[in-house]
Structure 1
Amino acid sequence: MRRAMSPLRAGGRIRGAHMPLAALVLAAALAPDQAAAETASDGAHSLLEEIIVTGSRIRRDALTARDWVLHVDGDDRDRSGLSSLGDLLARLPVSGSPLSTRFNSSGVSGATDLNTIPASVVERVEVLRDGASAIYGSDAVAGVVNVITRKVRGVTARAHRGGFENGGETTDLELALGGAWGATSASAHIAHTDQARVRAADHEQTRWPKPGTGVLHGSTFTPQGRVVFADPNTGRFVNCALNDGVTGVPVYDPADPCGPGDDYHPWSNADRFNYATYNLVLTPSTRTGIFGRVEHETAAGTRLRLRAFFNRRESVNQAAPEPVWAGTLGETGSLMDDIVIDADNPYNPFGFDVGPGGFLTRRPLESGPRIFEQDVDTRYAAFTMEGVSRGFGRAWLWDASLVWSRNVAEQTKHGAHNARRMLLALGPPEGCAGVPGCVPLNLLGGRGTITDAMLDWIGFVQEDSSAQTLRSFVANVTGELASLPAGALDFAAGFERREQDGRFDPDRVVAAGDTAR
């Protein structure tokens, strides 16, 4: 029985586990199985095979333990048509939302990637529905997952291709080979998955922020833009959206702002922006994994096991174009709060500074959607010894393992904006003119008014890199201390030493605090 367990925490927070091949977070405890023992009508006793339950260092019979274990195996995966271990486990009956290739966002920090484990390597997954905090730490309050790798004899190959009505074609190629030679066995797995995207805009239930409500729950950052300020010349409060079709420098009527005499109208929820059409229901990715294992049993019955794998993932997420804003009422605490559109900016129709005591927002579609690319390499190696020793007249089960793993990620974001350069491009024209490459920015015009030259000045490609290394040693021993009238008095003890270090190298614009988002 493998001890590759990971903790589960209610609420969806993810935390790495010290055990190998372990990664899964569930939002709440799993529902119990409805299995029950049946008694034969003639009163005869059935002979049942003993099953040892995972989730505790103390070995227990499954029928006497209070915890039920849910099994997911290769047949379940084949029936589902899914290629990803993460997608398969996300279908388990739990509360909460899955974090997998069906999850699209503009970035999640510290999330565990279940797809690092090649699906072809997995024989089965056992899910302990109850908590095991005493064994696996405080995060294991909602359950534990045990990922068990399979042994291969001979050569097996698998090819699978499928898709959806509107995209999402997925190709899986798997090759496994292995054999046994006396007390020694070895196996190797190679897997490659290529998954195409599915756009939210191609499905009625996902093309709006909330199905059936149109733009009601859309974003207040719109392609035409919105201005909120108190006119210093008239004292009138203005909350206006730019009319559709207006380009260039808008017309503003201080005597009747947002009226028929200018290019603005009063802001309402009908002006909200439908960002959902840019999202992806299924994110594209390419995954390649290589896994190997060697196992040997000595004459004394000690089992030695060496496992290693390498996984490379190239994936892409997409979101609506990055919104920008300016003005003190934004109250974001970022550099964008300090941006003022100078009264002399050639694209300012108001004749006074815009920003102090107000704000303006716009979603420049000219920048294109935000594209998040991830290139992630994961390496893992583990050496394990386990066996049975006798002492004090009893048998003691023991195991010890050394684990090393390293994860290196390169993350790239397209469609980002440099807030410090925006501050210069929206400020006094003479300040911008004195800086090579600076071009005054038209943030108050409608869609299509931000030129390529403006984008070259304010846009940038954000490049971040990170790496984490884990080294751990774990040793455990368990056995029966004594036999009591009520049952055996079992014992378990263990030792763990874990070293983990990492680095994060943000883009220089991010490090300087000059990003617009």
Structure 2
Amino acid sequence: MLRFLHIPPPHSPSPTPLRLRRLTMKTHAHMALRRHGLAMSIAAALACACGTSAAQNAPPPPAPATQPQAPPADTGQKGTTELAAITVTGSALPRIDVETPSPVTTITADQIQKSGLTTVSDVIRAVSADNSGSIPPAFTGGFAAGSSGVALRGLTVNSTLVLINGRRAANYPLADDGQRSFVDLNTIPSNAIERIEVLKDGASSLYGADAIAGVVNIILRPGYQGTEFSADVGTSQHGGGATRRATVLFGGGDLRKDGWNAYFSAEYQKDDRIKVGDRGYPYNTNDLTRSGGNNLIGGQPSQNSGSPYGTVTPGTLGTPGDVTTGIADPGAVAQPLSACGAGSTLVTNDPNNPGSYCAFNRTRYFDISPEMERQGIYGRFSLKISDTSQAYIDASYYQVRTQFRGPPPQIQASTPNNTNAIALPATLPDGSINPNNPFAADGKAALINYTFPGIPGGGDNKNHNMRITGGMTGSWGDWSYDTALVFNHESLDISTPGLLNYNALVAAVTNGTYNFLNSSANSPELLRALGPTLQKTSTSDLQSFDFRVTRPLMDLPGGSLGLATGLDVRHEEQNDPDLNPDLAAQGLGIAHTKGHRTVSGAYVELDAPFLESLEVDVSGRYDHYSDFGKNFSPKIGIKWKPIEQLAFRGTFSKGFRAPSFAENGSSESEGFATYTPPPEFQALHNNSGYVQPYPLAFLTAANPKVKPERSKSYTFGILFQPTQDLSASIDYYRIKKTGVIGQQSPAAVLDAYYNGQPLPPASSIVADVPDPAAPNALPRPLVVDAPYVNQNALETKGIDLDLKGGFNFNESTRFTSEINLTRIITWVLTLEDGTKLQFVGTHGPYGLSSGAGTPRYRGSWANSLQIGKLNITGTVYYTSGLKLTAPDVAPGCQSTNTTTGDNFPLSCRMSSFTEVDFTGRYDLTEKVAITGSIMNAFDRKAPLDPLNYAAFNYNPTYSQSGAVGRFFTVGVRVKL
């Protein structure tokens, strides 16, 4: 729960505050500096010459004599330097000592500006604790294309609660993988940020559901006076991705003198796309033979992939008149339907493809980064009601448009209708010879692989987010209160072209109305009928009301026993209709979610400073959900400082995650992953193209009986500051969830299918048509159908390390260095049957992480030098490598050369990735500054990752900058 800094006017009586615990610092100026010395666990990205750490680290050294003292937080009031209490995320009670029993990282607006990062998404996803399940904006092939989400502790986006000004926000209208609800970071105002607080601890005892792995609280300015402008441009060294960004912030009115303050913020950012063709090998192709891998390039009959020039093989129709039942003649070989043209290469005598075909690189139609346009406005008006109270209203509207390219559709698809055996008939319905079929004169059908030129692929997603908050804060006697009403509506318009209509395709092949020999001869009307644009609008809504109060109860040796309590009520709705409701479009499964519920909750917190060196905080919350019932979440935290330089802290809490509407509402979803069958199964099919890597569908239905996930969390930390210039903190965490909600194990369903055993209850397999090369062998699975269930348990343990040093060379020169590192010790999922799956250092959990995996280490090291008006920061980011294994899919290496059977690469590993960024700022005058950055300064390439399915041969979640390459930006800041 967040309370803004409250500084009572000097001409009026001050409300009775809590008797805050005694401070050992002696000077008022030092206390003011301590209040603003807030921690940052992404310090590598955000370190600056005056940057400080608190909440996790001990207080910083005083600023050099030539630098002004940090001002109080901007409330639209001027001329005061009084020390004020602040409410830190994870506690509902105001305090001056910002080091709570829980680990909290605070990132200020100034630090964000000096980092070179421009959006909330960039800043939060740079936190070292963000891990498995994080959603990058570059993943346009996912369910939630164009959005961005944070996943602290590697527990995916649905276990990290995102707040704005301490209050909930509406979820993105599309659930990640059709299951996991989350807040889209792209729709949060970034130009109006005062600070971001990242609580890396369970917090359901105050905030309710979803705060299992932690809380990200984006705190916007409570007031502002003045005018600021900024403009930035940037581009990549290797082409594409140019960016333009502009912001404005202005406000007026002194809340103390005038009785009001109002300010307005606007921002605009446009990022051009980076095409796959703009980058070199291996990011621009599916042919990895030069590296020892597979050749999955388009056009190969054995891969069921087509080119615009087509490939045909003589055969017959298994069912006369049914063009989807083609059977190749024994020993028949493929040949191009027409001469290979631009963008293709004739290939003959390929061991896996007897005959010849036109190799065609379909990846060139994809993007490494999509085109994104982000624009929004935010405003706030504050009104002084009395000497001890004020009211406010704020509103924001943000629109984020993501446009991404895709390849033209091809005939071959496995779902929802199998067209891998489609064939051109010898004769048309009127009895005439089919002119598209080169074998028609012999009465033969022609099995065809083909990509339709002239039908564009890709998508256009436009997200609209409107949020209005009205509230009052103040005091009455010993009580301080904070109440607010929130309305948040999010609407997502989705437009998806280029998916073949099954009925139109069959009709065009049967009737010969599509000209396969000369694609330019086909009319626009026919192309639109074959590949119509699918559209839908998905919505998400949240309305909430809360009332919160605090007061001192009694004096203790270390300060006042503080009480905080509050209640809140909210209503949530989601309506995400099917884009493909009648399964008419090929290559697109089912995905719809609909649900609503009302949630009411109440909490209480007691903070007891029994001694100046000992603090105990206890809290608990009761929630009632209209769809599944009630829950109680307690928490206790302790902080002990035996000496001023050393502190120990620890917490224990219970938490829960409410089932999403996708999990217990009226919903089902179907996702796809590139899948390689087991070697034994491949051998039974003679390693034919039928058993090469192909899209496997995972269909999951909601289960009304599914229960909430419940958690127990522990943290223990040590904070040490031997001198004012050196500080360190280390925190250990352990989170155990029971009743983990997930699709009934697809691996168990697949194992039972391959072994001829009964499938697990409520599950099923939809099998493909038999393999033409091995018709008596078990068909490959096309769809794994399993419901959501409460699986047994999940447990993760890890360590966060923060080290910081600052050195003053002279009055105008200061150097700071900070290391932040997160190590995940273990991440184990225990399935219903007792099977334990260890994911640390692997690409698992494969589906939950979009194939991104769970790195063991993520860290950063920042070195910042301030020389007078110049500030330069160099930041090193590190992510450890991953095994190319996915225990939740199948045992063993999941990346192999399917011809030789060898691991690819032989080490079965993705290498680690290290990136270095340089940012700088020079103050030309007190009001004008120029900025610049070189991101990925050493142009490090993203390591090869053939297992991740969010991009071509690299991992965009952790090494997107390695595919983008060296990137330059310059900008100007003007403050009037």
TM-score (norm 2): 0.40
The question of 1:277 aligning with 2:360 is answered no
Aligned residue in 2 for 1:472: 544
Equivalent in 492, 503, 512 of residue 409 of structure 1: 492
Q: Deviations over 1:314-335 (max 9, x none)?
A: 3212233334326xxx4x3x23
1:158 CA drift (Å):
1.2
Amino acid of the structure 2 residue aligned with 1:96 = S
Equivalent in 369, 379, 396 of residue 309 of structure 1: 396
Equivalent in 582, 585, 594 of residue 512 of structure 1: 582
Amino acid of the structure 1 residue aligned with 2:522 = D
> Is the Cα contact below 8 Å between 1:208 and 1:214 reproduced in 2?
no
Distance 2:313 2:208 in 1: 51
Distance 1:138 1:381 in 2: 22
Amino acid of the structure 2 residue aligned with 1:315 = T
> Is the Cα contact below 8 Å between 1:3 and 1:54 reproduced in 2?
no
1:460 CA drift (Å):
1.2
> Is the Cα contact below 8 Å between 1:289 and 1:310 reproduced in 2?
yes
Q: Deviations over 1:282-325 (max 9, x none)?
A: 22122221111011233251231210012223321223333432
The question of 1:110 aligning with 2:175 is answered yes
> Is the Cα contact below 8 Å between 1:218 and 1:273 reproduced in 2?
no
Distance 2:567 2:466 in 1: 24
More deviation, 303-312/195-204: 195-204
Distance 1:440 1:368 in 2: 13
Distance 2:337 2:445 in 1: 24
> Is the Cα contact below 8 Å between 2:383 and 2:391 reproduced in 1?
yes
Taking the TM superposition and a 5 Å limit, the aligned residue runs for 1:317-396 are 317-325=404-412, 330=414, 332=415, 334-336=416-418, 340-341=422-423, 343-344=425-426, 346=434, 347-348=436-437, 349=439, 362=450, 364=451, 366-390=453-477, 395-396=478-479
Alpha carbons of structure 1 residues 89 and 229: separation in structure 2 relative to 1, 3 Å:
farther
Taking the TM superposition and a 5 Å limit, the aligned residue runs for 1:190-229 are 190-204=266-280, 206-208=283-285, 213=291, 216=294, 218=296, 220-224=303-307
> Is the Cα contact below 8 Å between 2:485 and 2:546 reproduced in 1?
yes
Aligned residue in 1 for 2:566: 494
Aligned residue in 2 for 1:79: 114
More deviation, 334-343/183-192: 334-343
Alpha carbons of structure 1 residues 234 and 374: separation in structure 2 relative to 1, 3 Å:
closer
Aligned residue in 1 for 2:379: 292
- Counterpart secondary structure, 2:127: coil
Equivalent in 476, 482, 496 of residue 399 of structure 1: 482
> Is the Cα contact below 8 Å between 2:305 and 2:412 reproduced in 1?
no
- Counterpart secondary structure, 1:76: helix
Amino acid of the structure 2 residue aligned with 1:278 = Y
> Is the Cα contact below 8 Å between 1:53 and 1:61 reproduced in 2?
no
Q: Deviations over 1:468-511 (max 9, x none)?
A: 3322212223444555679865544332222233444556xx33
Alpha-carbon RMSD across the aligned residues, in angstroms, is: 4.4
Unpaired runs of at least 5, structure 2: 5-41, 43-53, 62-82, 145-173, 177-182, 298-302, 319-325, 342-346, 428-433, 588-976
Equivalent in 185, 188, 213 of residue 261 of structure 2: 185
Distance 1:483 1:272 in 2: 80
1:152 CA drift (Å):
2.1
Alpha carbons of structure 1 residues 480 and 100: separation in structure 2 relative to 1, 3 Å:
same
Distance 1:296 1:417 in 2: 57
> Is the Cα contact below 8 Å between 1:120 and 1:174 reproduced in 2?
yes
Aligned residue in 2 for 1:136: 207
Q: Deviations over 1:109-134 (max 9, x none)?
A: 33643222232111221111222133
Q: Deviations over 1:59-108 (max 9, x none)?
A: 56656523222222333333343332212322221223653443332642
User: Counting strand residues as a fraction of each chain, which structure ranks higher?
Assistant: 2
Distance 2:363 2:529 in 1: 28
Distance 1:477 1:173 in 2: 40
Alpha carbons of structure 1 residues 59 and 118: separation in structure 2 relative to 1, 3 Å:
closer
Amino acid of the structure 2 residue aligned with 1:169 = A
Distance 2:334 2:197 in 1: 55
Amino acid of the structure 2 residue aligned with 1:197 = R
Alpha carbons of structure 1 residues 292 and 209: separation in structure 2 relative to 1, 3 Å:
farther
1:214 CA drift (Å):
8.1
Q: Give the percent of matched residue pairs that are identical in Structure 1 and Structure 2.
A: 23
Aligned residue in 2 for 1:125: 196
> Is the Cα contact below 8 Å between 2:501 and 2:586 reproduced in 1?
yes
Equivalent in 201, 219, 224 of residue 152 of structure 1: 224
Amino acid of the structure 2 residue aligned with 1:57 = A
The question of 1:425 aligning with 2:475 is answered no
Q: Deviations over 1:220-251 (max 9, x none)?
A: 45334678999779997679665596579xxx
Equivalent in 229, 236, 244 of residue 171 of structure 1: 244
Distance 1:267 1:186 in 2: 74
Distance 1:451 1:494 in 2: 70
- Counterpart secondary structure, 1:408: strand
Distance 2:509 2:475 in 1: 74
Alpha carbons of structure 1 residues 275 and 247: separation in structure 2 relative to 1, 3 Å:
closer
> Is the Cα contact below 8 Å between 1:173 and 1:193 reproduced in 2?
yes
Aligned residue in 1 for 2:353: 265
- Counterpart secondary structure, 2:386: coil
Amino acid of the structure 1 residue aligned with 2:240 = G
Q: Deviations over 1:157-181 (max 9, x none)?
A: 1111112121222111111111223
Amino acid of the structure 2 residue aligned with 1:152 = Y
Count of residues in Structure 1 that have an aligned counterpart in Structure 2: 445
Distance 1:89 1:168 in 2: 21
1:200 CA drift (Å):
2.7
Distance 1:496 1:297 in 2: 25
Distance 1:246 1:158 in 2: 55
Distance 2:479 2:355 in 1: 74
The question of 1:35 aligning with 2:57 is answered yes
Distance 1:422 1:259 in 2: 29
Taking the TM superposition and a 5 Å limit, the aligned residue runs for 1:450-469 are 452-453=522-523, 455-469=527-541
Amino acid of the structure 2 residue aligned with 1:180 = G
Amino acid of the structure 2 residue aligned with 1:511 = P
1:352 CA drift (Å):
6.1
Alpha carbons of structure 1 residues 440 and 272: separation in structure 2 relative to 1, 3 Å:
closer
Q: Deviations over 1:344-366 (max 9, x none)?
A: 353454856789xxxx754x151
